[in-house]
Structure 1
Amino acid sequence: MSNLNAKLFSAADSLRSKMDASEYKDYLLGLIFYKYLSDKLLVKVVELADESPEEYNTQEKQTHLYRDLLADEDVKHDLIETLVDTLGHHMEPDYLFNVLADQAKQNTFQLNDLNKAFIDLSTKYDQFSGLFDDVDLTSKKLGSDDQQRNITISDVLKKLSEIDVIEHDGDVIGDAYEYLIGEFASEAGKKAGEFYTPSKVSDMMAQIVAIGQEDRKLFSVYDPTMGSGSLMLNVRNYNNHPESIKYHGQELNTTTYNLAKMNLILHGVRKEDMRVRNGDTLNKDWPTDEPYTFDSVLMNPPYSAKWSADQTFLDDSRFNRYGKLAPKSKADFSFLLHGFYHLKDSGTMAIVLPHGVLFRGAAEGVIRKKLLEDGSIDAVIGVPGNLFFGTSIPTTVIILKKNRNNRDVFFIDASKEFEKGKKQNKLTKENIDKVVETYKKRENLEKYAHLASFEEIKENDFNLNISRYIDTFEEEEPVDMAALGSSIQDIKKDKAELESSLYETISSLQYDKENEEWIKGALEVFNSEK
């Protein structure tokens, strides 16, 4: 796996010097995705032809077989139909990734052929529509003219051709793809917040929303700010029927939306099991038709984003129970209420937000009070600062449920337990396991967890600031003044001895006229300090 990751990332070298990570990821991920679709098709052709994989063990042989089968008019129609039924697509032999890569190696590759390949796939099959739009083969960043652009893309094709994505199953290549997204996020910095949630945070949230629902068949997950789709995909690791999970997601940024679609496909999610949309989550509710509630809701929305806060939203069924709208300058509670509205009565929701939602007043205070009075907030988990790309602020994961039989809130302060990194802090598996196990037990743990009753929360004026409920103050050990005094005396003694030694050394120096003034000045400084 690590070897695969290294090869994938090294393929970016041809692009890294030409553009920002936020741009070159579109080229590299688009081409990896295209290779995956192409290579998978060749393996399926050998299988459908009932030929031996040992005999057809190279892509050259597989391509010859594919061309021969398509040349037979009695076979061609059924073969294409079966490929579309099983894989969701077919490709012309001239557009196969390995064919284009071989042309690159022979210096006969033409950018226009790759462009035609993208168009052919995108226009024939709805699930690929728009997915390659960001692979702009005419961009001057690839080179000043067609020849230079040809050379740049040829280099990338040649490097990617060395990777055998089929020897890994769909999950593993999907995970490698996730690895690359994380690497690009690290380089892209602030821009990465649009599409990436660190894997360990994502993993923690996925575990929590799956608790008690592990055996549920036809499990559904919804992320209305889905980014790369990683939050949704992590849920499959904690459900006993991963092949039957239904994925529902929405994303405002078109490039990021395409990234999520590719990621879902690379993880082997079938067309009929994903319902994703490119749109504005807050300004227009979606989904509005069945199903519109889900077993789990996972969200990492943009923090304190602006939104319209138009008064007509007070009639919107997502917000009309709470008396106030989130302020224009901070849409945090709008995202939370949207996700909560789409949660099933038996489901669990987890959302990452800045700490301000726990204590800010005015309209946000009114919304928070109503959520607490309804018993909707199940837990508040404080996580460390500097975990997310593009922001160093500490964040909180809020867990919500419907129809709870009490109104207490379980607080966990996990903000002090992490692995410090050069750029970003990281949560370890042990950190995550502790949070999840503590959440399950729902018991007080000194300086780490506290179960607060509704009355306690009410006494705190519905302020959920974690420090009000968990005291993490560590008393410092009393200072031994006698030892401190003795230490100071020793330091003074050492200082005097060093100064005396240095004075003697300078005094004994042989020097010329040029340095006489400097030496005398240094000695005067010593004498004045005595």
Structure 2
Amino acid sequence: MLKNKDVPSELKNFNSLFFSFQYKYDLYNLYDDLLTLIICCLARQTEERLYFETIKKYEKKELTTFAHLMGELFIIYNNSKTFGEWCDPLGEYYECLASNSKKSAFGQFFTPKAVCDMMANFVTPKDWGKQINEPCSGSGRMILASNQITKGNYFIAQDLDPICCKMTAINMAMHEIRGEVHNMDTLRMANLRMSYSINFDFYKHKTPLILLKRPD
């Protein structure tokens, strides 16, 4: 079990809830399912089939725990917005799981927040309305840091890891960033598995939106 002392203070409640599943499910798959359910909830009823396919192996009380996990994350995002900062609770918790696990599936460690902020200051255009590419997005931290410098740009992100793409998509949606995320091999520009359209109509509805587009 990942002890509360090993996670950031804002994620302690989240961690306690997450590990209530630990003896029954693989943690990597559990985290992936959580990300999928969040995306389904932000998809405005366009991913009902994926939602029901994902939840079918869980009991009713476990689905309630998923709802509480989402609630904890939304509180963190809202608090960050209140203080005018960006946050990456998904990436932070994923790193905690990776540092505590011997499974090869947990293999991602992301650029520290302070380094992202410094790099964003160097490369982010000061005028808005640009298209900016992030070819290896991780959890989307460089995008979040860049958006903090100049809002109103459109981001195109790619990553080979499907979990990274899901974290990037959710982080972008919750930070009110428009763009798209592609689960693909960026070096070869091949093997597209899934695409996510983020907040394309945010100006109209003012609510986070993620739409999935599967390759033909």
| TM-score computed with the length of structure 2 as normaliser | 0.62
Contact 1:223/1:250, CA 8 A, preserved across alignment = yes
User: 2:13 is matched with which residue: 7, 10, 13?
Assistant: 7
Q: Residues 14-413 of structure 1: matches in 2 within 5 Å?
A: 14-31=20-37, 37=42, 90=44, 120-122=45-47, 136-139=54-57, 149-158=59-68, 165=75, 168=78, 171=81, 175=86, 178-189=88-99, 191-194=105-108, 196-210=110-124, 213-214=125-126, 216-239=127-150, 242=151, 244-269=152-177, 273-284=178-189
| Counterpart Cα distance in 1 of 2:96 and 2:72 | 25
Which amino acid counterpart does residue 30 of structure 2 have in structure 1?
Answer: Y
| Counterpart Cα distance in 2 of 1:260 and 1:14 | 25
Per-residue CA deviation, residues 135-158 of structure 1 (Å, 9 max, x unaligned), is 83345xx5xxxxxx3333333435
Aligned residues: 178
Contact 2:98/2:108, CA 8 A, preserved across alignment = no
Contact 2:14/2:72, CA 8 A, preserved across alignment = no
Q: Secondary structure at the match of 1:22?
A: helix
The verdict on how the C-alpha distance between 1:34 and 1:11 changes in structure 2, with shifts beyond 3 A counting, is farther
Which amino acid counterpart does residue 238 of structure 1 have in structure 2?
Answer: I
Cα drift, residue 274 of structure 1: 0.6
Per-residue CA deviation, residues 475-509 of structure 1 (Å, 9 max, x unaligned), is xxxxxxxxxxxxxxxxxxxxxxxxxxxxxxxxxxx
| Counterpart Cα distance in 2 of 1:167 and 1:187 | 20
Contact 2:91/2:167, CA 8 A, preserved across alignment = no
| Counterpart Cα distance in 2 of 1:11 and 1:257 | 24
| Counterpart Cα distance in 1 of 2:76 and 2:11 | 14
Q: Which has the larger radius of gyration?
A: 1
The verdict on how the C-alpha distance between 1:18 and 1:249 changes in structure 2, with shifts beyond 3 A counting, is same
Q: In structure 2, list runs of 5 or more residues that go unmatched.
A: 1-7, 191-216
Cα drift, residue 188 of structure 1: 1.7
| Counterpart Cα distance in 1 of 2:14 and 2:81 | 16
- Identity level (%): 21
Q: Secondary structure at the match of 1:197?
A: coil
| Counterpart Cα distance in 2 of 1:185 and 1:217 | 32
Contact 2:157/2:180, CA 8 A, preserved across alignment = yes
The verdict on how the C-alpha distance between 1:197 and 1:151 changes in structure 2, with shifts beyond 3 A counting, is same
Per-residue CA deviation, residues 430-455 of structure 1 (Å, 9 max, x unaligned), is xxxxxxxxxxxxxxxxxxxxxxxxxx
The verdict on how the C-alpha distance between 1:246 and 1:227 changes in structure 2, with shifts beyond 3 A counting, is same
Cα drift, residue 282 of structure 1: 1.7
Q: In structure 1, list runs of 5 or more residues that go unmatched.
A: 38-88, 91-119, 124-128, 143-148, 286-530
| Counterpart Cα distance in 2 of 1:206 and 1:6 | 29
Which amino acid counterpart does residue 228 of structure 1 have in structure 2?
Answer: S
| Counterpart Cα distance in 2 of 1:225 and 1:29 | 19
| Counterpart Cα distance in 2 of 1:159 and 1:254 | 20
| Counterpart Cα distance in 2 of 1:256 and 1:5 | 19
Cα drift, residue 235 of structure 1: 0.8
Cα drift, residue 21 of structure 1: 4.1
Which amino acid counterpart does residue 200 of structure 1 have in structure 2?
Answer: A
| Counterpart Cα distance in 1 of 2:9 and 2:147 | 25
Which amino acid counterpart does residue 246 of structure 1 have in structure 2?
Answer: Y
Q: Secondary structure at the match of 1:279?
A: strand
Q: Secondary structure at the match of 2:158?
A: strand
Contact 1:170/1:268, CA 8 A, preserved across alignment = no
| Counterpart Cα distance in 1 of 2:117 and 2:73 | 28
Say what the alpha-carbon RMSD is for the aligned residues: 3.8
Cα drift, residue 253 of structure 1: 2.4
Cα drift, residue 247 of structure 1: 0.3
| TM-score computed with the length of structure 1 as normaliser | 0.29
The structure whose RCO (Cα within 8 Å, separation 6+) is larger is 2
Per-residue CA deviation, residues 457-480 of structure 1 (Å, 9 max, x unaligned), is xxxxxxxxxxxxxxxxxxxxxxxx
